[in-house]
């Protein structure tokens, strides 16, 4: 792929709650419609698999083309979409050069996922995560992600997901040392707007623009989180950081 430093990448992060909506109906096709209408290049999903058994995908694997994206090969079996519920979807004409799974500490079983994607602006590392409910666990999980990143090749990196931190000022200090984290607002609950749980951030060689929640009648019904969307570009004075 020819690299264009001026190119932009459109990303979405979305806790799809296993496709169970605020109306208590499980409707995967609502999620697929939202992803298709978002017109994103990369989607980072949380709660993309069910919890029981082999953790089958919450979205029909044979219908993924409906949203114009393909799952990175993060699943450990033939029925899941991701790992520990975290999935990364990428437009099918872009190459996923590598994938990784990051085990996270804590009382609950948690994990983060990573994919290095060859984009028009060059290699881009995507890290998707869903942090734990306890702040102590979240702090340990952040350090685990940072420790893992310290041993990886230097690529511009975007991190996104449901960080489960209710405070707008506290609790995400470890990640904030490496990433410029942003929240577009109270993305949870989709109907009642209680907390800014969903965040997106970049290393200093990247810049986020137009960070916003996708707030429609459909997104307010499809999950208890609103999806967040942003346009990603190279920073004006790019330096490799992660």
Q: What is the mean pLDDT of the chain?
A: 94
Would you state the pLDDT for residue 242?
54
Q: Is residue 239 part of a domain?
A: no
Give percent of the chain with pLDDT exceeding 90: 88
Q: Is residue 2 part of a domain?
A: no
Q: Is residue 58 part of a domain?
A: yes
Q: Is residue 176 part of a domain?
A: yes
State how far the Cα of 133 lies from the Cα of 90, in Å rounded to an integer.
28
pLDDT digits (tens, 9 = 90+) for 41-72: 999 999 999 988 889 999 999 999 889 999 99
Domain assignment of residue 120, given as a range: 8-234
Give percent of the chain with pLDDT exceeding 70: 96
Q: Number of structural domains, the chain?
A: 1
Domain holding 56: CATH number?
3.60.10.10
pLDDT digits (tens, 9 = 90+) for 117-170: 999 999 999 999 999 999 999 999 999 999 999 999 999 999 999 999 999 889
Per-residue three-class SS string for the chain? CCCCCCCEEEEEEEECHHHECCCCCECHHHHHHHHHHHCCCEEEEECCECCCCCCCECCCHHHHHHHCCEECCCCCCCCCCCECCEEEEECCCCEEEEEEEEEECCCCCEEEEEEEEEECCEEEEEEEEECCCCHHHHHHHHHHHHHHHHCCCCCCEEEEEECCCCCCCCCCHHHHHHCEEECCCCCECCCCCCECCEEEEECCCEEEEEEEECCCHHHHHHCCECCEEEEEEECCCCCCCC
Burial label for 10, CB within 10 Å (0-12, 13-18, 19+), is middle
Would you state the pLDDT for residue 68?
95
Beta bridge partners of 11: 42, 230
Q: Is residue 3 part of a domain?
A: no
Confidence band (pLDDT; 50, 70, 90) for 191?
Answer: very high
Confidence band (pLDDT; 50, 70, 90) for 171?
Answer: very high
Q: Is residue 241 part of a domain?
A: no
Q: Is residue 173 part of a domain?
A: yes
Would you state the pLDDT for residue 7?
86
Residue 80: pLDDT over 80? yes
Would you state the pLDDT for residue 240?
46
Measure CA 93 to chain center: 20
């Amino acid at each position: 792929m020819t690299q264009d430093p001026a190119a932009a990448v459109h990303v979405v992060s979305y806790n799809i709650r296993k496709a169970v909506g605020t109306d208590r109906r499980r409707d995967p096709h609502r999620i697929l419609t939202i992803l298709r209408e978002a017109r994103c290049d990369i989607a980072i999903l949380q709660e993309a698999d069910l919890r029981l058994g082999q953790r089958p995908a919450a979205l029909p694997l044979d219908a993924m083309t409906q949203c114009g994206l393909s799952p990175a090969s993060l699943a450990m079996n033939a029925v899941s979409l991701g790992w520990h519920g975290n999935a990364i979807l990428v437009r099918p004409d872009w190459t996923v050069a590598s994938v990784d799974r990051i085990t996270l500490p804590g009382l609950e079983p948690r994990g983060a996922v990573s994919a290095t994607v060859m984009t028009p602006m060059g290699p881009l590392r995507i890290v998707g995560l869903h942090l734990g409910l306890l702040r102590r666990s979240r702090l340990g999980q952040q350090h685990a992600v940072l420790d893992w990143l310290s041993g990886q090749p230097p690529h511009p990196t975007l991190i996104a997901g449901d960080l489960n931190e209710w405070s707008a000022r506290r609790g995400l200090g470890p990640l904030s040392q490496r990433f410029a984290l942003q929240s577009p607002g109270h993305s949870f609950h989709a109907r009642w707007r209680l907390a800014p749980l969903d965040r997106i951030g970049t290393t200093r060689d990247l810049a986020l623009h137009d960070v916003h929640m996708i707030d429609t009648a459909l997104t307010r019904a499809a999950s208890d989180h609103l999806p967040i969307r942003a346009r990603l570009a190279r920073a004006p004075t790019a330096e490799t950081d992660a």
